Amino acid sequence: MPINYYIFLSIALFSIGIVGVLTRRNAIIIFMCVELMLNAVNLMLVAFSKMHYKAALLAGDVNGTAGTDGQLFVFFIMVVAAAEVTVGLAIIVMMYRNIHSVDVNFLNRLKH
C-alpha cells in the first residue's frame, strides 16, 4: 500500500482530534480527542518506520535496523499517553468532585 494512504488517514484522524479539542466542552471528550491525535502520530510513525525498513531491504541491507527508532517512539508515546490518562482522569475526577461538572469553560480561574 502506498504511504500516501497512511498519511491521509493520519491527517484525518489528527484533524478530527484537533476539531474535537477545539469545539467540545466536555473534558472527557477533549481527553479522548487528545488521545486520537497521539494515535494519529503513532500511526504515522509506524507507517514511516515500515517504509524506511523496506527501502533499506531493497537497497541490500539485509540485517538493517533502519526505521526501528520510529517504532521505539511509538512505544514511548504509548507509555506517555498511559501516564497522561492516569493523571488526566484523576484531574477530571477531582474536577467533578469540586464543581460537579466536567465542562472546561467553568475552569477559567487561571486568568487570576
Q: In the set 7, 21, 43, 57, which binds other proteins (CB under 8 A)? A: 21
What dihedral do alpha carbons 40, 43, 48, 51 form, nearest 10°? -150
Residue 106 near residue 99 (C-beta atoms within 8 A): yes
User: Is residue 63 close enough to count as binding other proteins by CB under 8 A?
Assistant: no
| Other C-beta atoms lying within 10 Å of the C-beta of residue 75 | 11
User: Is residue 25 close enough to count as binding other proteins by CB under 8 A?
Assistant: yes
DSSP one-letter code for 50 = H
Q: Looking only at residues 78 through 107 of this chain, which bind other proteins when binding is defined by CB under 8 A?
A: 104-105, 107
DSSP one-letter code for 59 = T
Nearer to other proteins, 27 or 45 (CB): 27
User: Is residue 108 close enough to count as binding other proteins by CB under 8 A?
Assistant: yes
User: Is residue 112 close enough to count as binding other proteins by CB under 8 A?
Assistant: yes
Backbone angles phi, psi at 103, to 5 degrees: -85, 120
Taking contact as CB under 8 A, which single stretch among the options 16-24, 42-50, 57-65, 74-82 is the one that binds other proteins? 16-24
Nearer to other proteins, 71 or 101 (CB): 101
- Cα–Cα distance between 6 and 79 in angstroms, integer? 23
- Interface positions with other proteins (CB under 8 A): 18, 21-22, 25, 104-105, 107-112
